[in-house]
Chains A and B, each alone.
Chain A
Amino acid sequence: MGFMVICSLYINKISILLSSHFCILTSRMSLFQVNVRDALNHAMDEELERDERVFLLGEEVAQYDGAYKVSRGLWKKYGDKRIIDTPITEVKTNTLAGVQSQHNISLSQYFELACRHLSSCAVTMVTRANQKPFFCISPQTVVFLENELMYGVPFELSEEVMHKDFVVPIGKAKVERQGTHISLVSHSRCVGFCLDAAAVLAKEGVECEVVNLRTIRPLDVETIEASVIKTGHLVTVEGGWPQYGVGAEICARIMEGPAFNYLDAPAVRVTGVDIPMPYAKILEDHSVPQIKDIIFSVKKVLNM
């Protein structure tokens, strides 16, 4: 019941999707090169086509084709009723809440928080193009945070993923790379860095398991625990600040759960530097985790 709304706040780089369907997977085959922007565009197009009750609401999403061109072509295809430009207001969640009656209350506070704190709130991070289509479980509000640096990055997609009925479940992490010596748990842009670091470490005989969280809340603790139980070592990697961050939560949960007994060394967080983000390029590069930081941490944890 209720309306399905895709609401995009590009100023805050947050997308919300509400849905009320179940969908199914199909067959496989060839590979397509798709960048994240196009994947998002494709996914929105599919949902808009599937259900008349779906609409896109946001700043500059219609005539401007989206602040980062993510909704390009959608207004031309679906028109004014389905693709709506809004004035610039940060708390339009209330508009959203007005439309979706049932599950807005608990989320609107969270969302207020998300609106105000750009860098430190996330629910689902879309960074790899194969996460494009979403999920479905009865009317739940989902907050999508998109890393704008990833919009232009291409990934290979199989035909299976390109199919309009392909979906990715919320709350399930994905093991992007199997490994045996250490678990690297990450989300968003840092997953790419973890994979790069894993490639470098593989040459030295260290096999890293890279886990892509995909969803921040609910956190897929089972997958993380299974990985830590397997490897005995954990490094979390994130772009945000250390204090009260995703890595902090993961470490706390590991401590409180069964996986702690399998740890051979303390779990460690690789995070952004604990400062306001500086502008100068050299400073910016050094205030986010770099591949060398991940490699350094892995070696420290493995006592190499």
Chain B
Amino acid sequence: MQKMLTIISNVLRGSARRNGAQVVSEAASLVVASRSYADFTPEATFDIKKVDLHRLEEGPPLTATLTREEGLKYYRTMQTIRRMELKADQLYKQKIIRGFCHLSDGQEACAVGIEGGITLSDHLITAYRAHGYTLTRGGTVREIMAELTGRRGGIAKGKGGSMHMYTKNFYGGNGIVGAQVPLGAGVALACKYLGNDQLCVSLYGDGAANQGQIFETYNMSSLWKLPIIFICENNQYAMGTSVERSAASTEYYKRGDYIPGIRVDGMDVLCVREATKFAADHCRSGKGPILMELQTYRYHGHSMSDPGVSYRTREEIQEVRSKSDPISMLKDRMLINNMASIEELKEIDIAVRKEIEDAAQFATTDPEPPLDDLCSHIFANDQPFEVRGATPWTKLTSTS
């Protein structure tokens, strides 16, 4: 009993941040039977890193409040994204998934944090590292995995693949580097035109940040004060080219020049959430666009054909994984502040694993789309029309 109390009090004092989880797991086996949900802290406030500001007097707050429910939700979502991406990696190596596949493990805090700062009635568009966003925007793991394997149960009926997934208010999933940003401005223009107080979050990477069309978009959205949040997910490498080798200025949050910018720690889900809330307020108050740079990291290579170690060291990847992993960071915070038990989090892990397994099972057994569907869904709400097949005698029909 005495020993148990000592262990618990050490944990509650938050003695060693890194050892917190370890110590708790020792106590867990003794303690779990007697814990009830009433023992958990319902809400805690955390200090978060100060952001760098560009053309702004004030930035997001330096503290963030997290409720137990939010914490568990973020944990579960990030863990789901992580496991889903790792499963996709496994299926790709078994050649069940083919073609392009860009994984976002390491960058979970970005997707989850952004969603925490906006609502599902807001809009979001990103590039091809989009599986996490498809999930946070309302897609299910089953649909996403079935899309990766090209089956009829996929979120795009198997016709889109990894880079072309869509849900309500989520515009993909875009293959051409940087092209999604002007599209995002278009969505923002629609929001302003309709006066619905919604905004559009347009994401792009550090590689795309040098694209000319992005600067054109900065200009127009600033001129017309469009409700758009530009977000640069800076994971330090554009394919195999590091930021130092590809950009004359690596301060991506300043690249909007006349557009106010903030640079945020993209590995901390609370930082990302607070920054997104701040940015959303900025847009909704009619001040026009704002630019957020999320400093993040991807554990995988650029895509499945890139091992990811020819242009960076394994030690670097390992270091980020051990010091800044977004899931571990949230987990530690919750455990140290007694917002959840290690058992509870383990249960979530097991549930997530099962969900992914079920989804993978579905994705591998669901049939491919029927050949009759070959020409369908080209237009929305159109009359059926004739489509030329491979020869002039092959006449196919397209239905909407």
Interface residues of A (CB under 8 A from B): 11, 59-60, 63-65, 67, 85, 87-91, 242, 268-276, 278-283, 286-290, 293, 296-297, 300
B148 CB → nearest A CB, Å: 9
The answer to whether B393 touches A300 (Cβ under 8 A) is yes
Question: Which one, A59, A276, A296, contacts B391 given CB within 8 A?
Answer: A296
6 contacts between A and B (CB under 8 A): A88-B211, A280-B154, A280-B369, A283-B373, A286-B374, A300-B391
The answer to whether A88 touches B238 (Cβ under 8 A) is yes
Which 9 residue pairs across A and B have the least CB separation, nearest first? A279-B161, A280-B150, A64-B240, A280-B158, A87-B246, A293-B390, A278-B159, A88-B207, A87-B210
Distance between Cα atoms of A148 and B246 in the complex (Å): 25
B311 at interface, CB cutoff 8 A:
yes
Interface residues of B (CB under 8 A from A): 98-99, 147, 150-152, 154, 156, 158-161, 164, 176-178, 207-208, 210-212, 238-241, 245-247, 310-311, 368-369, 371, 373-375, 378, 387-394, 396, 398
The answer to whether B393 touches A89 (Cβ under 8 A) is no
The answer to whether A63 touches B311 (Cβ under 8 A) is yes
The answer to whether A290 touches B390 (Cβ under 8 A) is yes
Secondary structure class of chain B's binding surface, majority of residues: loop
Number of cross-chain contacts by CB at 8 Å: 120
Considering only CB atoms, which chain A residue lies closest to B147 in the complex? A279
B357 CB → nearest A CB, Å: 23
Question: Which one, B238, B246, B368, B398, contacts A282 given CB within 8 A?
Answer: B368
Q: Which residues of A have CB within 8 Å of B371? A: 282-283, 286
Q: Which residues of B have CB within 8 Å of A273? A: 374-375, 387-390, 396
The answer to whether A67 touches B239 (Cβ under 8 A) is yes
Q: Which residues of A have CB within 8 Å of B392? A: 268-269
Q: Which residues of A have CB within 8 Å of B389? A: 273-274
A281 CB → nearest B CB, Å: 6
The answer to whether B207 touches A289 (Cβ under 8 A) is no
B376 CB → nearest A CB, Å: 9
Distance between Cα atoms of A87 and B249 in the complex (Å): 12
Q: Which residues of A have CB within 8 Å of B398? A: 275
Q: Which residues of B have CB within 8 Å of A91? A: 212
The answer to whether A280 touches B159 (Cβ under 8 A) is yes
Q: Which residues of B have CB within 8 Å of A297? A: 391, 393
The answer to whether A85 touches B245 (Cβ under 8 A) is yes
Q: Which residues of A have CB within 8 Å of B151? A: 280
Q: Which residues of B have CB within 8 Å of A289? A: 390
Question: Which one, B99, B245, B247, B373, contacts A279 given CB within 8 A?
Answer: B99
A231 CB → nearest B CB, Å: 19
The answer to whether B391 touches A268 (Cβ under 8 A) is yes
The answer to whether B239 touches A275 (Cβ under 8 A) is no
The answer to whether B378 touches A89 (Cβ under 8 A) is no
The answer to whether A64 touches B241 (Cβ under 8 A) is yes
Distance between Cα atoms of A81 and B371 in the complex (Å): 52
The answer to whether B210 touches A282 (Cβ under 8 A) is no
Q: Which residues of B have CB within 8 Å of A288? A: 390
The answer to whether A242 touches B164 (Cβ under 8 A) is no
Distance between Cα atoms of A87 and B238 in the complex (Å): 8
Distance between Cα atoms of A290 and B389 in the complex (Å): 11
Q: Knowing A274-B387, A279-B99 are in contact, say whether A89-B210 is a contact too (CB < 8 A).
A: yes
The answer to whether B369 touches A283 (Cβ under 8 A) is yes
Distance between Cα atoms of A226 and B387 in the complex (Å): 33
The answer to whether B387 touches A275 (Cβ under 8 A) is yes
The answer to whether A279 touches B158 (Cβ under 8 A) is yes
